[in-house]
């Protein structure tokens, strides 16, 4: 009766041989092509360094004015602008300005790349059913897989540093923008599409002049979630050399520095509030504009 309480297993020797074969193949591939792969990402490294230098090298009043101006243009709300200014001043007073700018530059760059990759993939997901089914499965796996798992293949291929962390952040944060781009296109009213067909719009014109503009509020919700997931991944990515507030949190955990962890956690939450308020307010403005257009 022991077989009822012990689940049958594969032959341990066979399982060990399979694991060794897979791990050995990956190591061989990394040794043979790792340098070439790493050199191919050099332009990306220069882009990341550029944005980081701009964020950390700019005078702090200019940074506050620029971010407050962006908040006003997107939200047209005094409360949002004041909250952005207040959070940035609080971060500076805590002595976390430089680290916060590194984190903001990383999240900003990762969001741009996620948008540039995610929106086209969302369109493909919406247009091609067979490819979309495969993509849905991949997205389900990506969103249920523990974040730490993303670090393993990236580190094996590219080692430790700024670029591997950035790639891990983009991969982890990209599913929402893909899904909500697809959802936004599917939610466009059929009557509007029928009117576009009646006016003789081609499939491409209907996509870029009708569906995507009307789907923008939903896409903005996807961008908002992408930003939040990128910020959540920043702390984990610090394990492979990404500098900024996440690295400070990791050091606080390792050395049991309670106040350092709390202050840096506050700064990360503050940055999340800034991005969340700006993106949500802009999405609401688009929603109101869409509603007035329908009327």
pLDDT score of 117: 92
d(CA 24, CA 191): 57
User: How many structural domains are present in the chain?
Assistant: 1
Q: Confidence band (pLDDT; 50, 70, 90) for 10?
A: confident
d(CA 282, CA 293): 16
Residues 6+ apart with CB under 8 A from 206: 193, 196, 197
Distances (CA, A) of 91 to 27, 55, 63, 100, 127: 43, 14, 13, 8, 44
Whether 1 is in a domain gets the answer no
Whether 2 is in a domain gets the answer no
Phi-psi map region of 146: left, alpha, beta (phi>0 left; psi -120 to 50 alpha): beta
- The residue among 244 and 3 whose pLDDT is bigger is 244
pLDDT at 155 over 80: no
Whether 17 is in a domain gets the answer no
Whether 5 is in a domain gets the answer no
Q: Confidence band (pLDDT; 50, 70, 90) for 19?
A: confident
pLDDT at 156 over 80: no
Distances (CA, A) of 283 to 43, 75, 134: 32, 9, 29
pLDDT score of 38: 75
H runs (alpha helix) in 145-257? 147-158, 162-173, 175-186, 190-198, 203-206, 212-237, 245-255
Whether 26 is in a domain gets the answer no
> How many helices (H) does the chain have, and how many strands (E)?
14, 0
The token duo for 201 is: 């719009």
pLDDT at 198 over 90: no
d(CA 254, CA 28): 33
For the chain, what percent of residues have pLDDT higher than 90?
Answer: 12
Which residue range is the domain that position 283 belongs to?
33-294
Whether 25 is in a domain gets the answer no
Pair 72, 81: CB distance under 8 Å: yes
Looking up residue 237, the CATH number of its domain turns out to be 1.10.3720.10
Distances (CA, A) of 78 to 72, 271, 277: 7, 18, 12
The token duo for 151 is: 């670090």
pLDDT at 40 over 70: yes
Whether 214 is in a domain gets the answer yes
What's the whole-model pTM score? 0.82
The arithmetic mean of pLDDT across residues 115-143, rounded, is 86
Whether 178 is in a domain gets the answer yes
d(CA 67, CA 100): 13
């Amino acid at each position: 009766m022991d077989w009822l309480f012990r689940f049958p297993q594969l032959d341990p020797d066979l399982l060990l041989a399979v694991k060794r074969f897979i791990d050995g193949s990956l190591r061989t591939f990394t040794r043979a092509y790792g340098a070439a792969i790493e050199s191919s990402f050099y332009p990306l490294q220069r882009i990341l360094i550029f944005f980081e230098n701009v964020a950390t090298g700019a005078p702090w009043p200019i940074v506050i004015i620029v971010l407050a101006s962006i908040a006003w243009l997107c939200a047209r709300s005094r409360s949002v602008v004041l909250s952005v200014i207040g959070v940035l001043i609080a971060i500076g007073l805590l002595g976390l300005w430089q680290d916060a700018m590194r984190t903001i530059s990383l999240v900003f760059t990762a969001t741009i790349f996620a948008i540039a990759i995610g929106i086209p993939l969302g369109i493909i997901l919406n247009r091609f059913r067979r490819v979309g089914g495969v993509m849905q499965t991949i997205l389900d796996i990506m969103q249920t897989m523990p974040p730490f798992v993303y670090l393993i293949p990236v580190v094996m291929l590219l080692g430790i540093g700024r670029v591997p962390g950035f790639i891990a952040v983009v991969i982890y944060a990209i599913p929402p923008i893909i899904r909500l781009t697809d959802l936004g296109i599917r939610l466009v009213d059929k009557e509007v599409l029928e009117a576009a067909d009646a006016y003789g719009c081609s499939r491409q014109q209907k996509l870029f002049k009708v569906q995507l503009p009307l789907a923008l509020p939903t896409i903005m919700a996807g961008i908002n979630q992408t930003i939040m997931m990128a910020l959540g991944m920043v702390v984990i990515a610090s394990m492979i050399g990404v500098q900024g507030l996440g690295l400070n949190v990791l050091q606080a955990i390792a050395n049991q520095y309670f106040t350092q962890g709390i202050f840096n956690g506050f700064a990360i939450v503050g940055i999340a509030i800034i991005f969340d308020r700006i993106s949500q307010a802009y999405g609401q403005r688009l929603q109101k504009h869409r509603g007035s257009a329908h009327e």
